[in-house]
Amino acid sequence: MTEEQFEFYVSIITRYFLDNPPDLDEYVWPPRNPVPVLETLAARNEWSQKYNRADQREKFIIANNFVREWGGIFRNRPETIRDYVNSAHDNVLRGAAGIATWSKILCLLDPEQYLIFDARVTFTLNVIIESSLVEGEVAQPIYFPKLTGRNTAIVAARNRQAQIGGTWPVAPFFEGATLYPNYCSILFKVAQRLRQRNMPEVTATHLEMMLFARAPILAEHIWRQEDPA
């Protein structure tokens, strides 16, 4: 990714959050028994502290419980979680496969350095990117990859998007080993810009949570759009 490309993403995401300021109360998780957002942030740090004090066997148990109980991902095989735990920081180079799981485990390892990346986050990022384009502009390979998710609103919105707006071609620097490092670098830089623009408390983790929280709302908006004339 060139400096110019990096600045493009930082600028449009910063502008989005300046126009739509982060409000952590929007973050509702888990859906069936939501926890106040400050408690959620505290819980993430507590999980991380336990994880980093544990031996390898205990790390596997903590990571498995964190991904299932807090992250809501139940389909991983035990050996997959064990591989992610053993790989530690090397997970950052894995690419999109399994990223919703292993990025959560990276956040256990260091919540100040790593961010969660999942289907909701990438969906919101792609909506922000699309909204920055000039009307009628041909879609370029500038998007984040579309990840498989269980949220029916997002699935429906993607299908609808294919009907009314075409595809979201993925940028080459958001594929393979460069995806996750570039994603994190962009959000950390956006947070820094926002702190310089009268949002002194905002962090990259807050932005990640807002991208997650706003995905269903944006998905419903796309799903309800009418066919072009």
| Token pair of 96 as six digits | 């999109």
Domain boundaries, the chain: 3-30+118-223, 37-109
Other CB atoms within a 10 A radius of the CB of residue 199 amount to: 16
Diameter over CA atoms, the chain: 61
Contact assessment for residue 17 and residue 210, using Cβ atoms and an 8 Å cutoff: yes
Neighbouring-strand partners of residue 143: 170
d(CA 223, CA 161): 8
> Residue 150: which of 46, 74, 211 has the closest Cα?
74
Predicted confidence (pLDDT) per residue in 9-57, tens digit: 999 999 999 999 988 888 877 767 777 788 888 888 999 999 999 999 9
Q: What is the pTM of this model?
A: 0.90
Predicted confidence (pLDDT) per residue in 160-182, tens digit: 666 545 678 899 999 999 999 99
> Residue 22: which of 221, 165, 201, 145 has the closest Cα?
201
Check residues 158 and 128 and name the one with the higher pLDDT: 128
Burial tier of 72 (Cβ tally within 10 Å: 0-12, 13-18, 19+):
middle
68 DSSP 8-state letter: I
